[in-house]
Structure 1
Amino acid sequence: MPELPDVEGFREVLVSCAKGRTIRRVEVRDTGVLHDVSTQRLRDALEGRRFTEPERRGKWLLAHTGGPTLLLHFGMTGRLLCARPDDAVDTHDRVLFALSGDRQLRYRDQRKLQGLWLAHDDADIARLLGRQGPDALAVSRADFEDALSARRGHVKTTLTDQSVLAGLGNLLADEILWRAGLRPSIRAADLTEAERWRLYTHMRRTLRSAVPAGRVPPRDSWLTGHRDDPDPLCPRCGTHLRRCRLAGRGTVWCPRCQPDTMA
């Protein structure tokens, strides 16, 4: 599932492929990814305009044009790619943006769980994103602590709640908690000040390392590099990793590095 680092990578694709280029034509191959906008309205709003500097907010990508803004959310399988007009079209290429300079921007998504929205002004953007919490890459320590201390749920569930903190998903939350030595099932409100500070520090370090990779990298030294192994071992201590489900999400942790503080 695309998380904050992935969407940063898609933002870079948009910059390198489309920034400053005129949108010659919008081709919608599957209207199932359009939300609150028809194909014709999307074409009328965007064709003839230029993409300007894009912006990421949490897991959302905002493709500004100096007028209407195209908002993209990638769900579980969405991607943004740069292509040439004569490149073969993939079955899952849902929307194609033909650009000046012989470029084509493609929104590709297999499962179509999210998609594209059109905002005509800042009020539209605020309406679509108004329920989001602060961005995980930009949140201050004070705001982070306030957000966590007010929540009664598990810390893993809290970290992945986009209304609390925007941008973190399943892989990042498990990685950050493992690095911080905190079990995912701990109640967020039960964390001590020192534990919240440790969690904040490791969140920032993890994001700063993952963003340049444009993904949550499956490195050997990371939990994410081993969570899908048949018999996963902790890359820090060699203990067999444990699995469970929290709020319906597959969760992986190390029982030695992330002890049960209530025991």
Structure 2
Amino acid sequence: MPELPDVEGFRKVLESCAKGRVIRRVDVRDAGVLHGVSARRLRDALEGRRFTEPERHGKWLLAHTGGPTLVLHFGMTGQLVCGHPDDAPEAHDRVLFTVGGDRQLRYRDQRKLQGLWLADDDSDVVRLLDGQGPDAMAVDRAEFEDALSTHRGRVKTVLTDQSVLAGLGNLLADEILWRAGLRPTDRASDLTEAERRRLYAHMRRTLRSAVTAGCVPPRDSWLTGHRDDPDPTCPRCGDSLRRSRVAGRGTVWCPRCQKDGS
């Protein structure tokens, strides 16, 4: 599933491919990815406008035009790619935006679990993002620590709750907790001040590296690089990794490096 680093990568694709360019044509190949807007209304609202500076909040991408804002969520399998109008569409290219005559921005999604919305103005954007917590890249330490201390759920569940903190998914949460030496089943509200600060510091460092990579990279030195191995071992201590489920999510952790919690 695309997480914050992936969506930041899509923001950069949108910026490099389409920023400042006139939207010449909107081709909706599959209206099943549209939410609350018809294909005709999407075309009428966007054709002739220019994409301006895009923004990201958590896993949401905001494609501003100086008027309506195209709002994108990538669900499990969504992507944003830049191509040429003459390139044949791929099977899962759902909506094509021809910009400036020689580039085409493509929303590609196999499973279609989320999709595209159209916000007429800033109040519509606020409404669509209502219930989202602060962005994980922008949240300050005090706000982060306060969110953890006031939630009694397991720390992984809290980290991946988009209403608490926007942008973290399964891979990032496991990686950050492993780096911080905390078990995913620890209660968030039971963490000490030192543990909360350590978790925040590792979240910031992990996100910076992942954003640079454009994904949660499966490096040998990362937990992510070993979680799908047949017999995964911890890249830090060499012990066998454990697999379990936390709030229905497949979870990987190291019983030696991640201390026993509450």
TM over 0.5: yes
Name the SS of the counterpart of 1:56 in structure 2: strand
Percent of residue pairs bearing the same amino acid type: 82
- Partners of 1:101 and 1:38 in 2: how far apart? 24
Residue 200 of structure 2: aligned partner: 200
Distance 1:37 1:105 in 2: 19
Helix, strand or coil for the counterpart of 2:105?
A: strand
> 1:172 is matched by which residue type in structure 2?
L
Whole-angstrom distance in 2 between the partners of 1:42 and 1:185: 44
Give yes or no for contact 2:185–2:261 (8 Å, CA) kept in 1.
no
Q: Which range moves more in the overlay, 98-107 or 235-244?
A: 98-107
Does the residue aligned with 1:42 lie in a helix, a strand or coil?
A: helix
Alpha-carbon separation, structure 2, partners of 1:138 and 1:259: 28
Aligned residue identity for 1:18? A
Partner of 2:61: 61
SS at structure 2 position matched to 1:244: strand
Equivalent residue for 2:223? 223
User: Can you give the 5+ residue segments of structure 2 that lack an aligned partner in the other structure?
Assistant: none
SS of the residue aligned with 2:8? helix
- 1:126 partner SS: helix
Instruction: Give me the CA root mean square deviation.
Output: 0.6
Following superposition of structure 1 onto structure 2, how do residues 40-79 of structure 1 map, counting pairs within 5 Å? 40-79=40-79
**TM-score under structure 1 length normalisation:** 0.99
Following superposition, the deviation at residue 105 of structure 1 comes to 0.3
What is the CA–CA distance in structure 2 between the aligned matches of 1:101 and 1:88, rounded to whole Å?
Answer: 16
Deviation at 1:101, TM superposition (A): 3.8
Matched position secondary structure for 2:37: coil
Structure 2 counterpart of 1:232: 232
Q: Distance in 2 between matches of 1:92 and 1:245?
A: 31
Given that 2:159 and 2:173 are in contact with CA atoms closer than 8 Å, whether structure 1 keeps it comes out as: yes
For residue 53 of structure 2, what is the amino acid of its counterpart?
A: E
Q: CA-to-partner distance for each residue in 1:18-54, whole Å, 9 max, x for gaps? A: 0011101101111110000000110010000000000
Following the alignment from structure 1 to structure 2, what is the Cα–Cα distance between the partners of residues 245 and 261? 16
**1:247 shift after superposition:** 1.0
One-letter amino acid of the structure 2 residue matched with residue 125 of structure 1: V
Q: State the distance in 2 between where 1:165 and 1:232 align.
A: 29
Deviation at 1:146, TM superposition (A): 0.8
Q: SS at 2:208's partner residue?
A: helix
- For 2:21, the equivalent position in structure 1 comes to 21
Deviation of the 1:261 alpha carbon: 2.9
Alignment length (residue pairs): 262
| TM-score (normalised: structure 2) | 0.99
User: Residue type of the partner of 1:248?
Assistant: G
